[in-house]
Chain A
């Protein structure tokens, strides 16, 4: 079915797939009624979906270079949009975002604005021009536009650093979900996750990753939206939660002032024995903190995430796969549409979860009730047993106060269906969705790194005479090596010291943003300028990170620019150095200037050949 008019058949193929998945959910629901255990349902959900992805990966195998690197440049706009959305939304977006909003309220939601607004930059400044260029990888553009292997090499370094920071977190997430759903140890779960990830990408490269990502998007969006709508309807909050939770948000404000938002002292938390990583609500849900510094922190975080989005190679390379420049632009719009379906639902899920727990008038409410009574509730016990939730009766009155209920952010997505009394089949579905989200992002990242190393380092720099067979062999070997390295680090459980996912955005914007956009928008940008900019940007950003991160030197942030925002320093230095050095060196030759002119118009041949 992957031959001939496969592309024309896409809507029918994925329509059938979606229908099949819905039938599977219904079958599981019937099986649950018939007495199948929760554990078996969880295993079946994860195993069934992973097998489907592996099958798609196998059917998409290829021995063609352009199919391996850019899916043959024939992915239609809407499908590329879905694939990008799956590529983009990581295990963290799926599992942790609603939890972040649950605890951080308005302040945390700077991430929502930042992780969506970046696509405006991608569409207006980069994607169409990179598509016209016809490159296989992001360093391919840098290397050809500026010329010389050293510029190419610098771009590969930035790409590897940014993507690798990100990928260990994803493999970690697949490990966590696999270990929970399949009831195996975490270390084994990580390797099971890695094998599933490689099954999707190894044989078919970009082509296989594209078609599995579309399948993964469908699973993850169904798994996110069904619980949100179901809970909202079941608990009577409104038929369409996105437009109907205004009252609940206002009610949360009342409850916050009734219970009081208390920030626990670190010493109290420690002496009460609260497990690490668990938090209590101490920040207003919808209130905006006063003052210029708070506003600056919000917009500076949004800025870093937006500029970082437009510099992350695993996203940019998705737009190399469209059939035309026009399609690349439209495809960015579809990507953001599909991302928005999940991102606009996350605050609603956080609101539903919070009101279910906090409102004492609801049967699900636990805050303000006697602790002895709450300890009888099944889900409370289950999550406390696995150290994902905790009760610390600070004032010793036997009643649960808002600041005495601790839980991990992930619990919001994983437990809310259970709290609201939905059948277990929904929890199994959510596990499959989280697995899909983490796998699809990990696949995109590992492929971005392996492609840059195999195409830009091996083929362009080390052995330009290598034949197709050898190039693809190297590409696949690198895929395994990089995946294994990521899994090894994840299995050592040291990802917490590798820092936040936000770092990947800051690294990418420090080194790549200005060399990429100035390559298109400023003809005067020179090779020396780009190289100096990449090195100075990455070095200054990294130095500032070491200077400010609490676990390294831990100095006070300058102007509120903390370790989540170090890209502001890196990118600014990169811009200044790149402009100054470019103006000091001789302007690019006629051929390069002509190439930039060609990139700026959609019609005509790509700069690099179809196979290069």
Chain B
């Protein structure tokens, strides 16, 4: 496998992990919304909290994490850009 192909395999892997986490916070939790709402977090019902703040915070953290991981992958295979911020 060429360097480019290996880089793309890893990139795809990271994309799938990212989307799996996204799917969990965007969908799986709310499929069970009525079951988890009796639990509480910071005094809020859990399902209410997740759509008001929890999932949104999870998405922000996820994208920062993804961007850092992808930068590492690009550096590993020598495809990182030079001379930018």
| Contact A347 B52, CB 8 Å, known A117-B26, A120-B63, A124-B15 | yes
| Selected interface stretch from A50-58, A417-425, A581-589, A596-604 | A596-604
Q: Closest approach, in angstroms, between the C-beta of B30 and any C-beta of chain A?
A: 5
The answer to whether B4 and A597 have CB atoms under 8 Å apart is: yes
| Contact A246 B42, CB 8 Å, known A112-B51, A116-B59 | yes
Number of residues on chain B facing chain A (CB within 8 A):
48
The answer to whether A302 and B81 have CB atoms under 8 Å apart is: no
| CB of A325 closer than 8 Å to a CB of B | yes
| Separation of A586 and B58 alpha carbons in the complex (Å) | 42
Q: Which residues 258-314 of A sit at the B interface, judged by CB distance below 8 A?
A: 285-291, 294-295, 298-299, 302-303, 306
Q: Closest approach, in angstroms, between the C-beta of A352 and any C-beta of chain B?
A: 13
The answer to whether B51 and A123 have CB atoms under 8 Å apart is: no
The answer to whether B71 and A326 have CB atoms under 8 Å apart is: yes
| Separation of A287 and B55 alpha carbons in the complex (Å) | 18
Contact of B27 among A119, A124, A286, A299 (CB under 8 A): A299
The answer to whether A306 and B26 have CB atoms under 8 Å apart is: yes
Looking across the interface, which residue of chain A has its beta carbon closest to that of B84? Answer: A324
| CB of B31 closer than 8 Å to a CB of A | yes
The answer to whether B57 and A344 have CB atoms under 8 Å apart is: yes
Q: Which residues of A sit under 8 angstroms from B55, Cβ to Cβ?
A: 113, 116-117
Q: Which residues of A sit under 8 angstroms from B43, Cβ to Cβ?
A: 245-247, 249-250
Q: Which residues of B sit under 8 angstroms from A76, Cβ to Cβ?
A: 85
| Separation of A344 and B33 alpha carbons in the complex (Å) | 19
| Selected interface stretch from A169-177, A330-338, A488-496 | A330-338
Q: Closest approach, in angstroms, between the C-beta of A224 and any C-beta of chain B?
A: 15
Contact of B67 among A123, A243, A247, A299 (CB under 8 A): A123
The answer to whether A600 and B11 have CB atoms under 8 Å apart is: yes
Contact of A303 among B7, B27, B80 (CB under 8 A): B27
A116, A121, A327, A343 interface centre (most CB from chain B within 10 Å): A116
Q: Which residues of B sit under 8 angstroms from A325, Cβ to Cβ?
A: 81
Q: Which residues of A sit under 8 angstroms from B33, Cβ to Cβ?
A: 106, 288, 294-295, 298
15 additional A-B residue pairs with CB within 8 Å, beyond A117-B55, A288-B47: A77-B85, A106-B51, A110-B30, A123-B67, A124-B22, A249-B44, A287-B37, A294-B34, A302-B30, A323-B85, A326-B81, A330-B67, A336-B60, A602-B80, A603-B80
- The 26 sampled A-B contact pairs (Cβ below 8 Å) are A106-B51, A113-B30, A113-B55, A120-B59, A121-B19, A121-B22, A123-B66, A124-B19, A243-B42, A246-B44, A249-B43, A285-B48, A286-B44, A286-B48, A287-B45, A288-B45, A295-B33, A295-B34, A302-B27, A324-B84, A332-B63, A332-B67, A333-B64, A344-B56, A347-B52, A600-B7
